[in-house]
């Protein structure tokens, strides 16, 4: 996996770290309508705060060195931003688990608010 701060393309899913303090209440409410991130799937989902850290630890346990660094990236960002401020969002390019647009968000909007982006093929 690669961590990028710019545009990411040709990916089965893109993951984003958002700083809750920089989001509007309506954006946070829309994100919370997504499915919770759970397990190793690549579906469109989110995890916030302690749940994001739990997801990252589960990812590291289940995937180990083959996980591409996703779990560690989330943990590093939770440490940097503060666990209470982190929101992890994943968008599946394949529509697995729905799309951001299903909850009134666009990929461009999430991308513009993201602290960082990671792709997963």
3-class SS string, the chain? CEEECCCCCCCCEEEEEEEHHHCCHHHHHHHCCCCECCCCCCCCEEEECHHHHHHHHHHHHHHHHHHCCHHHHHHHHHHHHCHHHEEEEEEECCCCCCCHHHHCCCHHHHHHHEEEEEEEC
Q: State the residue range of the domain holding 77.
A: 2-120
pTM comes to 0.86
pLDDT at 98: 83
pLDDT in tens, the chain (121 residues): 444 444 444 557 899 999 999 999 999 999 999 999 987 777 899 999 999 999 999 999 988 777 788 999 999 999 999 999 999 999 987 777 788 999 999 999 999 999 999 987 5
pLDDT at 3: 47
Domain count, the chain: 1
Please state, in angstroms and rounded to a whole number, the distance separating the CA atoms of residues 65 and 70: 10
């Amino acid at each position: 996996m690669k961590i990028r701060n710019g545009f990411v393309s040709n990916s089965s899913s893109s993951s984003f770290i958002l700083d809750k303090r920089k989001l509007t209440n309506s954006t946070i409410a829309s994100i919370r309508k997504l499915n919770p991130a759970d397990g190793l799937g690549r579906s469109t989902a989110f995890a916030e705060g302690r749940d994001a850290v739990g997801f990252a630890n589960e990812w590291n346990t289940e995937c180990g060195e083959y996980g591409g660094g996703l779990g560690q990236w989330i943990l590093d960002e939770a440490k940097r931003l503060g666990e209470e401020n982190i929101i992890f969002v994943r968008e599946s390019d394949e529509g697995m688990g729905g799309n951001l647009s299903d909850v009134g968000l666009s990929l461009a909007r999430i991308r513009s608010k993201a602290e960082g982006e990671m792709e997963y093929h």
